[in-house]
Amino acid sequence: MYYQYSNKIFLISIILIISLVISCHEKEEGFFVGGLEYSFIPQGEFLMGCIPGDSLCWKEELPRRKVQIKEGFWITSTEITVGSFRKFTENFNYTPESQLKNKGRIFQNEINDWVWTSGVTWKNPLMPGLTVPDNYPVAQVSWKDAQKYCECMGGRLPTEAEWEYAARAGLENQLFTWGNKWIPVIDGVPQTNGPDITTKAIYSKMSIFNDYIDHYATYSPVGSFPPNGYNLYDMSGNVWEWCYDDFYYSRYNYSIDTNPPDSLKRKSKIVRGGTWAYSPEQHRLSERGVFESENFWTASLGFRCVIKKSKN
Ligand SMILES: [Ca+2]
Ligand SMILES: [Ca+2]
């Protein structure tokens, strides 16, 4: 009797595991994982860091140097969406940290600062009780949440070098994904979901691209603006994106084997790409944001994933 019962448990477990794998790795036309498309980025090399003449270049974006990407890789064409992230939490019985702690970080215009607020989670990223549709980028996710999702999909977060290489798409000496002009408009078409006039109408303290209107005060559905040359959407704006790498203040000047000074040691991670919120200059392709690697998530921060596999 016990033996039969054990066998039944075993069979049900196997079926559950198989169905989890299928639901996590559902294949559609092209290369899709978790319901999201991945684009192939070929191997190559590029110049990483500030372009010449960038007056807003921070010290930690230097020295500009040649970096080799020795193997091609696949990267999510869009930011990870609310819908895909929800399926991941259901399929893997995973509870994101914002949900566990029932709090998130949002901008409060009155005090011109970001504050932890209860009832704000990845399900309600902007205010308690307000959900966002499934095709919007997931935010209020910690580095651990993001890396866990990517691992489930068979990958990991992009390294900082992979991220910048993919974002530049072979274009050298470019300040932004759309070119070098501070107005993100080409032929009348808005090029990024950045802080704009519609954002300013809600958050008057935020700085915006001058006279820019993209019609999204906060998030936009992923893929709402033109892609770069690698078919990647929202490498500029919408939400900032976690990278795999640790951050040291002058990491570019230290080899991985070198211990930075104590004052520079922080448990921090790199974020890239700028957001819908606050600061236009953070959209520069070489801009390196930094947030705590533990116990941190915020309304303007999401991610995408890298999967290493051959092109064919
Ligand atoms: Ca906007
Ligand atoms: Ca983005």
CATH of the domain at 124: 3.90.1580.10
Ligand positioned closest to the Cα atom of 191:
1
Task: Note residues around ion ligand 2 (Cβ under 5 angstroms).
Answer: 234, 238, 273
Ligand positioned closest to the Cα atom of 242:
2
Omega of the bond leading into 63 within 30 degrees of 0 (cis): yes
* pLDDT score recorded for residue 265: 57
Residue 30 structural domain: 2-307
Does any domain span residue 312? no
Task: Note residues around ion ligand 1 (Cβ under 5 angstroms).
Answer: 193, 196, 214, 216, 276
Q: Are 119 and 269 in contact (CB under 8 A)?
A: no
Under DSSP, is residue 108 helix (H, G, I), strand (E, B) or coil?
strand
Q: Which residue has the tokens 């109408």?
A: 201
Does any domain span residue 36? yes
Does any domain span residue 51? yes
Tokens of 83: 């819908």
Ligand 1 mean position, distance from CA 198 (Å)? 7
Least Cα distance to 82 among 303, 271, 292, 293 occurs for 303
Q: Are 278 and 119 in contact (CB under 8 A)?
A: no
108 bridge partner residues: 113
- Number of domains observed in the structure of the chain: 1
Q: How far apart are CA 98 and CA 103, in angstroms?
A: 6
Ligand 2 mean position, distance from CA 80 (Å)? 10
As averages over each run of 10 residues, the pLDDT of the chain (312 residues) reads 43 39 42 94 94 92 90 97 98 98 97 97 97 98 98 96 96 96 96 98 96 97 97 98 81 49 66 95 95 94 95 78
Ligand 1 mean position, distance from CA 275 (Å)? 8
Ligand 2 mean position, distance from CA 43 (Å)? 22
Tokens of 123: 């399900």
Ligand positioned closest to the Cα atom of 138:
2
* pLDDT score recorded for residue 249: 59
Residues 6+ apart with CB under 8 A from 23: 87, 91
Under DSSP, is residue 69 helix (H, G, I), strand (E, B) or coil?
strand
* pLDDT score recorded for residue 207: 95
State residue 249 phi and psi, 5-degree precision: -50, -45
What length is written for the chain?
A: 312
Q: How far is CA 212 from CA 33, 137, 188, 203, in A?
A: 35, 22, 11, 15
Does any domain span residue 50? yes
Does any domain span residue 178? yes
Ligand 2 mean position, distance from CA 30 (Å)? 22
Residue 94 burial (10 A CB sphere; 0-12, 13-18, 19+):
middle
**CB burial string 173-203: b at 16+ within 10 A, e below:** ebbbbbeeeeebbeeeebbbbbbbebbeeeb
Q: How far apart are CA 277 and CA 207, in angstroms?
A: 8
Does any domain span residue 216? yes
Ligand 2 mean position, distance from CA 21 (Å)? 28
The 3-state secondary structure of 241-292 reads EEEEEECCCCHHHCCCCCCCCHHHCCCEEEEECCCCCCCHHHHCCCCCEEEE
* pLDDT score recorded for residue 253: 52
* pLDDT score recorded for residue 278: 84
* pLDDT score recorded for residue 250: 54
Q: How far apart are CA 247 and CA 163, in angstroms?
A: 15
DSSP assigned state of 115: E
